[in-house]
Structure 1
Amino acid sequence: MSGSPDLGVEKHGHVTLIEIRRPPLNFFDLSLIQQIADTLDQLDEDKDCRAVVLASQGKAFCAGANFNRPVADGGDAASGTGTTGDLYLEAVRIFRNKKPIVAAVQGAAIGGGLGLAVSADFRVACPEARFAANFTRLGFHPGFGLTITLPEIIGKTNAALMFYTSRRVTGEEAFKMGLANILVPQDQVRAEAFKLANEIAENSPLGLLSTRATMRAGLADRVKAQTDHELAEQTWLRQTEDFKEGVKATEERRLPKFQGR
């Protein structure tokens, strides 16, 4: 199976590595999310693949959407190309995949990048990792299905805390709240992710697929319904002065001065 300049795909026995190759920050757009979804669809048909490791080159796992990227006609800044609705349709495809995924989070997983990390079954992280749902700091509303997936993993109160404050959660904090399943030194993150994926892959492939389908029953449909709502909220917030100020403040690395309009 071949990859692309932005996405590497490598087979290691019964485990397949999907590697995001947009270092150092690995910003995503519609094209990248679509490539990941396409690859997972192909792996669903590959009987030799029993588990997946999702990793990234560079210092960040995925720093979210690149708001500075030029957009195509009819597009918007959050998705890079196409529309945010198109992006979320591709994201839902990721949640429909059949094979277990272990995310190797060696650095920042921010905004939609956190959504991508949360789409995996498990996350291996390190103290240097940072997890943030920084949407309100941008004058925005959470997306990528995070308003349903994150509470299911860390509880409603912890998720609300992350949403309302936009704070960055360290690897240690993420491990304590269950957002990270395994915590190891930074240089061991990928190896530990493969170790877990191989442990999963040692089991009956049919039993594994059946059990995972039961554990994640209805998840993709719930994410689809939630992204529809998230998109509606994001659409009107995108027109506000606060959103423009939030993006500008982020670019200038300063605290935003919101006016509530």
Structure 2
Amino acid sequence: MSSPPILLARTGAITTLTLNRPEHRNAMSPELFAAFEEAIEEVLADTTTRALVLTGSGDCFSAGANLRAELQRDGDADRPFLPFERSHAMYVPFLRLLDIEVPVIGALNGHAVGGGFGLSLLCDMRIANRSSKYGANFAKLGFHSGLAISYLL
């Protein structure tokens, strides 16, 4: 049995949401998107949470999107995903962090690149490891950085 892609734990009034795919450097997959969305809805409904800590398991916060998994996803057989629809479907669960009314603290325990960097920028505050690397690698390829990175910077 595999581990869940998201762990949600509460200690008093602090809720910790952990990206839990360390074997894939916490890369974002369709399963992680769905679990993240479910966890955020749970946090939004919980009136006892006074702060949300967002972190990653293992030694990496998040390597961003698992592009291999995304490219293998199929849309409806009669109507495949359009690029905008795919991007929108990927971003929406993470952008819900902006709806959380308590402080969201990013505990960046390792590298945060691509979408992982964007996810870290959605936090109100970031506590980072000095030896880790952070960046929007898609920009080096001439693509927009995604996950609202340009807006959030």
TM-score computed with the length of structure 1 as normaliser: 0.50
Cα RMSD of the aligned pairs, angstroms, is 2.1
- Aligned partners of 1:7 and 1:18 also within 8 Å: yes
1:103 equivalent in structure 2: 106
- Please name the residue that 1:8 is paired with: 7
Which 10-residue stretch deviates more, 138-147 or 116-125?
Answer: 138-147
Q: Which residue in 2 is equivalent to 1:22?
A: 21
Pair 1:37 & 2:37 matched: yes
CA contact (8 A) 1:62 1:114 kept: yes
Q: Does 1:52 align with 2:56?
A: no
Q: Which residue of 117, 126, 129 corresponds with 1:126? A: 129
SS at match of 2:10: strand
One-letter code aligned to 1:72: R
Structure with the largest fraction of helix: 1
2:140 alignment counterpart: 137
Residue type at the aligned position of 2:51:
A
Residue pairs, 1:216-255, within 5 angstroms = none
Q: Quick check: 1:20–1:57 contact (8 Å CA) kept in 2?
A: yes
Please tell me whether the aligned partners of residues 37 and 94 of structure 1 are also in contact (alpha carbons under 8 angstroms): no
Number of the residue aligned with 1:203 = none
Instruction: Assess if the C-alpha contact under 8 Å between 2:95 and 2:122 holds in 1.
Output: no
Amino acid at match of 2:106: A
Would you say the 8 A contact 2:5–2:31 is kept in 1? no
Which residue matches 1:149? 152
CA distance in 2, matches of 1:33, 1:97: 17
1:67 has 2:67 as partner: yes
Distance 2:49 2:41 in 1: 12
Alignment partner, residue 239 of structure 1: none
Q: Is the 8 A contact 1:30 1:86 kept in 2?
A: no
Query: Residue type matched to 1:35 in 2?
Result: A
3-state DSSP of counterpart to 2:134: strand
1:60 Cα shift?
0.9
- Give SS of 1:109's match: strand
- CA displacement at 1:87 relative to structure 2: 1.3
* Residue number among 62, 84, 88 corresponding to 1:85 in the alignment: 88
Structure 1 runs (4+) greater than 6 angstroms displaced: none
Per-residue deviation, 1:46: 1.4
* Matched ranges for 1:182-201 at <5 A: none
Offset of 1:97 from its aligned partner? 2.1
Contact 1:106/1:128 (<8 A) preserved? no
Q: How much has 1:85 moved relative to structure 2?
A: 1.9
Amino acid at match of 1:98: E
Q: Give 5+ residue unaligned stretches, structure 1.
A: 151-261
Q: CA shift at 1:91, angstroms?
A: 2.9
SS class of match (2:60) = coil
Shift of 1:88: 2.2
- Deviations along 1:38-75, one digit per CA (max 9) or x if unpaired, are 32222222122111111111121001112222522137
In structure 2, what residue type is equivalent to 1:71?
Q
Once residues 55 and 103 of structure 1 are traced to their aligned partners in structure 2, the CA distance between those partners, rounded to angstroms, is 6
TM-score normalised per structure 2: 0.83
Given that 1:33 and 1:87 are in contact with CA atoms closer than 8 Å, whether structure 2 keeps it comes out as yes
1:18 deviation in Å? 0.7
